[in-house]
Amino acid sequence: MCFFRYGGEPGAMKPVKAVTLWWVLLLVSRLGATRKESLEEGSFYYGTFPLGFTWGVGSSAFQTEGAWDQDGKGPSIWDTFTHSRKGNVLGEETADVACNGYYKVQEDVALLRELHVSHYRFSLSWPRLLPTGVRADGVNKKGIQFYSDFIDALLNSNITPIVTLHHWDLPQLLQVNYGGWQNVSTANYFSDYASLCFEAFGDRVKHWVTFSDPRTMAEKGYETGHHAPGLKLHGTGLYKAAHHVIKAHAQAWHSYNNTWRSKQQGLVGISLNCDWGEPVDISNPKDIEAAERYLQFCLGWFANPIYAGDYPQVMKDHIGRKSAEQGLDMSRLPVFSLQEKSYIKGTSDFLGLGHFTTRYITERNYPSRQGPSYQNDRDLVELVDPNWPDLGSKWLHSVPWGFRRLLNFAQTQYGNPPIYVTENGASQKLHCTQLCDEWRIQYLKGYTNEMLKEPFLSYMQIMTEIMVPTVCTLCILIAAVLLMLLLRSLS
Ligand SMILES: *[C@@H]1O[C@H](CO)[C@@H](O)[C@H](O)[C@H]1NC(C)=O
Ligand SMILES: *[C@@H]1O[C@H](CO)[C@@H](O)[C@H](O)[C@H]1NC(C)=O
């Protein structure tokens, strides 16, 4: 395997401890029996793909390119993190060479043609284009040339590029000099970088993803320290990082909308990863609330500001209350000004969704005195059903029905936006050296099948378009009759 596994960090491989984010729950077999996905081999049951449905595969720069210090590329925080030899990464692996993709443009495009995909998503390395991260410090021409050639090679093969601007590999100098995503200035540097990319590649690239899975970047980079830059600023750093990422996203979208859209006619969105959170006991309101909280702290954290103009109310409430209980005069969750809210709202032309697995969620009240942390703020526990098939990573279980539920949730929460599934799939089992990936075929079939299912929206529409007005009309009628009776009895 050449692909650098971000998930290969030692934290992901440790045995489950009390503090681990999810616990193994021995769910009663009733749940397992009624909700277990069917694993039998079979074809797709839910019809065919609609016209215009597109299949693609994807990668990211740090995980595949290699050539980490070649042709003028500056270091990224991931180069530094993997080079530090402090046991940051399982097996002390680096991505200095990875798939050597920097030198394999023609081979990679040939492989994509063989796969018959129509779209390929990849990310640009910010420090390959801007070695210090700052546009004013100089552009690396060889970096521009590399991506330009790659885009041309894709288009010559009729493969549409979907380009991610930032997939975690922040220029190291922005981290060292300014504190990286802890500093709001990084949003400006990002916006300058984004404009450079629109300018250089936007004549050919029509699908832009500003950030890929910024939640993991914030949580693992600034809360747990399992990912670069390896900071453990519990309960504060991740919210600040996310706050600046959201601003950076909005700035890049506006820059595209104001300067480039009219000429280039492309789309700019964000890609958010989230697992589905299912209440352990669907008849327990506390579990239902906890599962909702799980989703809002995961997807809503980024999607709500972008689609509705602010953080989810439940995040503001919980983090605000905990912060006060911890003796702080301000919430650890930063606040958007009114101006910022309207600036950020509506800045995604599509919603990119990354999805892999599902958790059962139950409420757990953590005392605030345990100190600030993301875990403490959410007041919940994540569990897995031991009957779920597990795949190549400890966190990854195949639970196709969770995917349908997440799609429904995203559709209804964010006003039925166009959704691109930007990540889904099953990681390699380490011991599997041959083509023994029947389990992966099952996983992909199961998840694809759920995507094909009739959206729940039609049911929701019945609810909102027929039920709600009917109930309202009935209420008004009853109120009118009661009022008449009351007036009559009075007169
Ligand atoms: C944030 O970045 C700016 C440069 O854009 C710098 O002047 C400032 O000192 C940085 N703040 C921190 C706390 O590092
Ligand atoms: C996007 O650009 C168009 C055309 O310039 C403009 O009319 C519109 O107001 C912009 N949208 C936002 C939200 O700024």
For residue range 400-439, list pLDDT tens digits in order. Answer: 999 999 999 999 999 999 999 999 998 876 666 677 788 8
Asked whether residue 254 carries a pLDDT value surpassing 60, the answer given is yes
- 132 by Cβ neighbours in 10 Å (0-12 / 13-18 / 19+) ranks as middle
Asked whether residue 457 carries a pLDDT value surpassing 80, the answer given is no
Buried b (16+ CB within 10 A) or exposed e, 424-449: bebbeeeeeeeeebebbebbbbbbbb
CA of 447 to the centre of ligand 1 (A): 44
Bigger pLDDT: 285 vs 465: 285
Listed residue (318, 440, 294, 441) closest to 372, CA to CA: 318
* Pairwise CA distance, residues 320 & 334, whole Å: 10
Which residue type does 396 have?
Answer: L
Q: Is residue 346 in contact with ligand 2, taking CB distance under 6 Å?
A: yes
Structural tokens at position 306: 């972008």
Structural tokens at position 140: 């690396």
Bigger pLDDT: 33 vs 4: 4
CA of 441 to the centre of ligand 2 (A): 44
CA of 258 to the centre of ligand 2 (A): 6
- 469 by Cβ neighbours in 10 Å (0-12 / 13-18 / 19+) ranks as exposed
Which residue type does 82 have?
Answer: T
β-strand 358-363 against 380-384: which pairing, if any? antiparallel
For residue 37, the model assigns a pLDDT of: 41
CA of 261 to the centre of ligand 2 (A): 9
Task: Tell me the sheet residues that pair with 24.
Answer: 384
Q: At what angle do helices 301-308 and 237-255 cross, to 10 degrees?
A: 40
CB 471 within 8 A of CB 454: no
Q: At what angle do helices 237-255 and 185-201 cross, to 10 degrees?
A: 40
For residue 430, the model assigns a pLDDT of: 64
For residue 473, the model assigns a pLDDT of: 81
Which residue type does 364 have?
Answer: R
Residue showing tokens 């190549």 = 392
For residue 476, the model assigns a pLDDT of: 85
Asked whether residue 163 carries a pLDDT value surpassing 90, the answer given is yes
Residue 52 binned pLDDT confidence (cut-offs 50, 70, 90): confident
CA atoms within 13 A on the CB side of 190: 29
pLDDT tens digits, one per residue of 166-223 = 999 999 999 999 999 999 999 999 999 999 999 999 999 999 999 999 999 999 999 9
Task: Tell me the sheet residues that pair with 362.
Answer: 381
pLDDT tens digits, one per residue of 346-384 = 999 999 999 999 999 999 999 999 999 999 999 999 999
Radius of gyration of the chain (CA): 24
Q: Residue 201: CB partners within 8 Å, gap ≥ 6?
A: 147, 148, 151, 163
Which residue of 251, 258, 263 sits with most ligand 2 atoms within 8 Å of its CB, as the best mutation to test the pocket?
A: 258
Residue 461 binned pLDDT confidence (cut-offs 50, 70, 90): low
What is the share, in percent, of the chain residues with pLDDT greater than 90?
73
CA of 257 to the centre of ligand 2 (A): 6
- Which ligand has the minimum distance to the alpha carbon of residue 175? 1
Residue 51 binned pLDDT confidence (cut-offs 50, 70, 90): confident
Q: Is 423 a catalytic residue?
A: yes
Buried b (16+ CB within 10 A) or exposed e, 51-80: eeeeebebbbbbbbbbbbeeeebbbbbbbb
Please state which architecture CATH assigns to domain 3-453: Alpha-Beta Barrel (3.20)
Ligand 1 neighbours (beta carbon < 6 A): 178-179, 183, 185
Q: At what angle do helices 214-222 and 237-255 cross, to 10 degrees?
A: 150
For residue 27, the model assigns a pLDDT of: 27
- How many CB atoms sit inside 10 A of residue 295's CB? 23
- Which ligand has the minimum distance to the alpha carbon of residue 133? 1
For residue 478, the model assigns a pLDDT of: 86
E strand or H helix that includes residue 197: helix 185-201
Residue 474 binned pLDDT confidence (cut-offs 50, 70, 90): confident
pLDDT tens digits, one per residue of 276-330 = 999 999 999 999 999 999 999 999 999 999 999 999 999 999 999 999 999 999 9
Bigger pLDDT: 15 vs 291: 291
Which residue of 183, 192, 231 sits with most ligand 1 atoms within 8 Å of its CB, as the best mutation to test the pocket?
A: 183
Residue 233 binned pLDDT confidence (cut-offs 50, 70, 90): very high
Asked whether residue 28 carries a pLDDT value surpassing 50, the answer given is no
Q: Is residue 257 in contact with ligand 2, taking CB distance under 6 Å?
A: yes
Residue showing tokens 């006991």 = 281
For residue 33, the model assigns a pLDDT of: 30
Per-chain mean pLDDT for the chain = 88
Residue 465 binned pLDDT confidence (cut-offs 50, 70, 90): low
For residue 489, the model assigns a pLDDT of: 84
- How many CB atoms sit inside 10 A of residue 375's CB? 20
β-strand 119-123 against 160-166: which pairing, if any? parallel
Q: From the candidates 223, 423, 438, 454, which is the catalytic residue? A: 423
CA 444 to each of CA 42, 45, 447, 451: distance values in angstroms, whole numbers, following the listed order: 12, 14, 5, 11
Bigger pLDDT: 489 vs 246: 246
pLDDT tens digits, one per residue of 68-117 = 999 999 999 999 999 997 888 888 899 999 999 999 999 999 999 999 99
Bigger pLDDT: 44 vs 132: 132
Asked whether residue 228 carries a pLDDT value surpassing 60, the answer given is yes
